[in-house]
Amino acid sequence: MDTTKFFSRLDEAFPADPRSAEPVHPQWADLAAEVPGTTAVNALAMLNLAAQLMPEAECYLEVGARWGRSFVAATQDVSDKRFYALESFGPADHGGAATRADLDRTIERYAAHADTHVVEGDSFRTLTRPGVVDRPVGVYYYDGPASGTAHHLALAVIEPLLADEALVFVADATRPKIQQVHGDYLAGHRGWSLAARWDGRGVEDTRWGGGLHALVYRRPPGAPRTLSPADERRRRLQVAVRGPLGSATRRVAGKVPPIVSAPRRRLAPLA
Ligand SMILES: C[S@@+](CC[C@H](N)C(=O)[O-])C[C@H]1O[C@@H](n2cnc3c(N)ncnc32)[C@H](O)[C@@H]1O
C-alpha cells in the first residue's frame, strides 16, 4: 500500500482539513444513519479512500465489524479487492450486540458487489491461524476490544500479516490509555510510525466519534514474521483469560439494570 499516496489524496474525500470538515460525499452520513454502529462519518470516508487506493494484490482486514457499518463503508465502489471482517459476536458494552445474520444482511444490502469474507471468532485466536488471509493486509482497521492488552495485541498479531508497507487505522484512539499503549508499542517495535491523528470528543461527535489514528508500517529488512515470545505469552493470556473475562463482565453488565440513585433527602439546616 502506497501510504504516501493515501495522505496526498485526502482532498478527494474531504474538501478541507478532515479534522474540521465533513466528507465531500453525503453517502457516509447516510450510511451512518442507516446502519447501526460506532464508526463515525469521517472515519467511514477515510476507510473507503484507503480501500480505493489499496493494490489488488493486498486485502483490507477489519477487527470488530459488528453490524458492518465500517466494513461496508470500506467496500463502496470497490469491486476488485478482497475484504475480511473478523467478528466474535460477543456481548456489547454499548450500542447493542449484533448477530452473524445482522452482519450478513448489511453485507448483502450494501456490499453484494464486493469480495467479502467474514471470519467468526476471537481475532487474537484466528489471526495467528495459518491461511486466515490469502494475501498481505494493506489496510487494517482495528475496532475491537479496547483494553490496553487488546490494543497492544491488535498491532502485534497483525504485524506478521501486513504488507511490506501498510496502513493501520485504530478506532477510539483519542483515549489517553490507547495512545500510551500505541506509544509503547511503536517504541518497542521497528517499522511503525504514527502518521495522522483525527481526534474525537466521544460517541456524540458525529464527525470523529472516539477518534481515529492512522499508523504506517514499513517492514524493516529481516523483520521476523512471528510474534515475539513476550507477545505470544500476552496473546495466550488474552485468549484464555482476559477475553473471556471481559465478555462475562459485559454479559452480566447487560443484565443488570442501571443503578437509579434515590432522591436526596433535604437536610434541615443545623441550628
Ligand atoms: C465497537 S464494535 C465495532 C463497530 C463497527 N466497526 C462499526 O463501525 O459499527 C466492536 C466489535 O468488536 C467485537 N469484538 C470484541 N472482541 C473481539 C475479538 N476478540 N475478536 C473479534 N471481534 C471482537 C464485538 O463483538 C463488537 O461487535
CA of 96 to the centre of ligand 1 (A): 11
- The pLDDT of residue 255: 65
- The pLDDT of residue 264: 41
**CB-CB contact of 46 with 12 (8 Å):** no
Q: Which residues pair with 116 in a beta bridge?
A: 83
- Burial track 187-208 (b if 16+ CB lie within 10 A, e otherwise): eebebbebbbbbebeeeebebb
pLDDT tens digit at each of 271 positions of the chain:
999 999 999 999 999 999 999 999 999 999 999 999 999 999 999 999 999 999 999 999 999 999 999 999 999 999 999 999 999 998 876 667 899 999 999 999 999 999 999 999 999 999 999 999 999 999 999 999 999 999 999 999 999 999 999 999 999 999 999 999 999 999 999 999 999 999 999 989 999 999 999 999 999 999 999 999 999 999 999 999 988 888 888 777 766 554 444 444 444 444 3
Is the distance from the beta carbon of residue 18 to the nearest atom of ligand 1 less than 6 Å? no
Is the distance from the beta carbon of residue 172 to the nearest atom of ligand 1 less than 6 Å? no
- The pLDDT of residue 259: 45
**Three-state DSSP class for residue 105:** helix
Is the distance from the beta carbon of residue 235 to the nearest atom of ligand 1 less than 6 Å? no
CA of 87 to the centre of ligand 1 (A): 6
Is the distance from the beta carbon of residue 37 to the nearest atom of ligand 1 less than 6 Å? yes
Is the distance from the beta carbon of residue 46 to the nearest atom of ligand 1 less than 6 Å? no
- The pLDDT of residue 257: 54
- The pLDDT of residue 263: 41
- The pLDDT of residue 67: 97
**Three-state DSSP class for residue 48:** helix
Q: Which amino acid would we find at residue 86?
A: L
- The pLDDT of residue 171: 97
The CA-to-CA distance between both ends of the chain, in Å, stands at: 75
CA of 189 to the centre of ligand 1 (A): 25
CA distance 216 to 230: 23
| Probe residue for ligand 1, chosen from 41, 87, 178 as the CB with the greatest number of ligand atoms within 8 Å | 87
- The pLDDT of residue 240: 93
Is the distance from the beta carbon of residue 152 to the nearest atom of ligand 1 less than 6 Å? no
DSSP secondary structure string, 59-75?
EEEEE--TTSHHHHHHH
Is the distance from the beta carbon of residue 88 to the nearest atom of ligand 1 less than 6 Å? yes
C-alpha grid cell, residue 26: 453525503
| Probe residue for ligand 1, chosen from 75, 93, 143, 175 as the CB with the greatest number of ligand atoms within 8 Å | 143
Structural domains of the chain, ranges and CATH numbers in brackets: 3-151+166-245 (3.40.50.150)
